[in-house]
Every structure is written in C-alpha cells, then in structure tokens.
C-alpha cells in the first residue's frame, strides 16, 4: 500500500513540477505581449503590473502604419513563401531520386551526407562571401537575394526530411503502378505524392518557420527598407539610441504569431524535424 501512495505522491510531484516549467517558458513571452499593449506610463511603472492595466493598440498602429513595419512584414512573407516553394520543389525531386534510384559509386550515400553537411556550416562562414557575391551581382538589398539564399538554406533540410518520408513508403506501390502501365513520373504524381502529402506539408511549414525567423543573412544582405525583413527591422530599431519598447514589442508580437500557429499545427513532426529525423517524436 505504501508503494501505491508513493506512486500517487510522485504523480502529484510531477504535476507540481510542470506548472513552473510551463510558466517559465511562457511568462517572458506573455510579458512582452503586455508591454506591447500597455501605455507608456504603465510600461515604466514600478512595480510593473502583470495583469491589471488598460490595453491600447497605439503601439501596433505606430509600428505598422507609421513606422513602416508593415512593409517589413510583407517582405518577410514574400521571401518566406517563395523560398519555401522553391526549396520544396527542388528538394523533393532530389530526395525522391536519392531514395528510389540506385546510382553508381555509392553516390546516394555520399550525396546525402554532403547535402546534410552543408546544413552544419556556421551561417557566418557563407554569409561573408555571399555578401560579396551579391554585391558583385548587384543583388544587395533585394528580396530576390534573400529568396535565393533561403532556398539554398532550406534545401538540405527538405532533402533530408523528404528522404525519410519516401523511405517509409513501401516500394510495392510504385512497382504496382509501373506494372499497371504508368510511367515513372505518372507513378510519382498519382501514387507517391498523395501518400507523402502530410510529410510534405510538415516540411513546408518547417521551411516557412526557418525562413521567417532567419536573421543573419537578412541582416547582411538587406539594409534598406525595400527588402528588409521583419527580424532585421526589429533589430535595427533596438540598437538605435532611443528605444521605443512598445513599438518593438508590437512588432515582435506580430512576428511570432504565424510561428505559433504553425508550431501548434505541426506538433507531431516537430521533434523529428528538429533532430533531423534522428528521433521520431
């Protein structure tokens, strides 16, 4: 009987541990959200009010209408979506070929590892030469430069994830399609793609998140309002002399909304994706 009691106590202990963990994870974000909604007076009040204050949308208006964050938002959206689509198309085709075709000289394995290794580079290593290359191509401060770079950035990830999904698919089905008379391309479109659609969607969302959040390349390649993405816009204002915290928070709050939506939708695949498929959460 003592054992059962200990078990129960243990269970309660676990719940007790859970609450601070949750709070710890979420409280800072909540704090920022409140700053974005507080008037300036409330922001600087001591002690700072956590829950009781009159909310205002002034900062949001200020950020997105007056100070041009709306444009940064648009840039982020365009760049993220475009690069994701490119990376998906190019990467999925490559992943399919690497999984299903046997190449000579053990190329399958070498190519896959090589593709993965490009993901391991510290960003700064390629950021410096890419800056110079884009400068030479007169592509600095354009959305195009970011789209190109983000596509390359996301490509290894897409290939790695989709390889896993293709490998999980029994090859019987494609063979049956061939025997039934379909061409390889037809089998890919009619049989394979519908079955990896969930994996494709998950990978797409991952790419969107990665592109949306990306900072270093955007910082290096875009310095003018024309192409600046949201993260760069936020950072730029933070390092200025006068920091308008309300505006900052408003912009940051908007920046994290799509991420949260996507992350919640994606939960199942998240662990698998972040650990590069090593662990199936």
Residues between 93 and 132 that touch another protein (CB under 8 A): 93-94, 96-98, 100-104, 108, 111, 115, 118, 120-132
240-259 binders of another protein (CB under 8 A): 245, 248-249, 252, 255-256, 259
Per rule CB under 8 A, is residue 67 in the interface with another protein?
A: no
Residue nearer to another protein on the CB measure, 15 or 54 = 15
Nearest distance from C-beta of residue 14 to another protein, angstroms = 6
Which of residues 46, 54, 224, 240 is near another protein by CB under 8 A? 46
* Cα separations in angstroms, 80 against 218, 234, 246: 12, 17, 26
145-204 binders of another protein (CB under 8 A): 148-149, 151-152, 155-156, 159, 170-186, 190-191, 194-195
Distance, CA of 252 to CA of 29 (rounded, Å): 10
Per rule CB under 8 A, is residue 2 in the interface with another protein?
A: no
Per rule CB under 8 A, is residue 41 in the interface with another protein?
A: no
Distance, CA of 159 to CA of 21 (rounded, Å): 35
Residue nearer to another protein on the CB measure, 54 or 194 = 194
DSSP state of 48: P
Distance, CA of 68 to CA of 121 (rounded, Å): 33
* Cα separations in angstroms, 14 against 4, 11, 106, 270: 15, 5, 49, 24
Distance, CA of 86 to CA of 274 (rounded, Å): 21
Start-to-end C-alpha separation, the chain: 35
With contacts defined by CB under 8 A, name the span among 19-27, 56-64, 67-75 that binds another protein.
Answer: 19-27
Per rule CB under 8 A, is residue 79 in the interface with another protein?
A: no
């Amino acid at each position: 009987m003592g054992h059962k009691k200990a078990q129960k106590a243990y269970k309660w202990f676990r719940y007790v541990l859970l609450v601070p963990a949750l709070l710890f994870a979420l409280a800072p974000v909540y704090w920022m959200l409140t700053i974005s909604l507080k008037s300036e007076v409330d922001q600087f009040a001591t002690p700072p009010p956590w829950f009781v204050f009159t909310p205002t949308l002034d900062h949001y208006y200020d950020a997105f209408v007056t100070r041009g964050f709306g444009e940064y938002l648009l840039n982020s959206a365009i760049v993220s979506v475009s690069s994701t689509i490119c990376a998906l198309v190019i990467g999925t085709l490559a992943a399919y070929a690497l999984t299903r075709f046997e190449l000579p000289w053990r190329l399958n394995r070498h190519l896959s590892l090589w593709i993965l290794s490009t993901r391991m580079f510290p960003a700064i290593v390629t950021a410096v030469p890419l800056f110079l290359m884009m400068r030479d191509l007169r592509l600095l401060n354009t959305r195009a430069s970011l789209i190109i770079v983000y596509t390359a950035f996301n490509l290894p990830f897409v290939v790695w994830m989709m390889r896993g999904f293709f490998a999980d698919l029994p090859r019987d089905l494609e063979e049956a399609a061939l025997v039934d008379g379909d061409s390889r391309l037809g089998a890919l479109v009619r049989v394979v793609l519908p079955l990896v659609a969930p994996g494709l969607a998950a990978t797409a969302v991952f790419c969107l998140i990665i592109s949306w959040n990306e900072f270093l390349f955007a910082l290096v390649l875009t310095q003018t309002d024309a192409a600046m993405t949201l993260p760069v816009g936020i950072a730029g204002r933070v390092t200025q002399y006068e920091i308008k915290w309300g505006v900052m928070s408003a912009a940051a709050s908007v920046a994290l909304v799509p991420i949260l939506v996507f992350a919640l939708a994606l939960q199942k695949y998240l662990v698998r994706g972040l650990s590069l498929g090593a662990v199936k959460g």
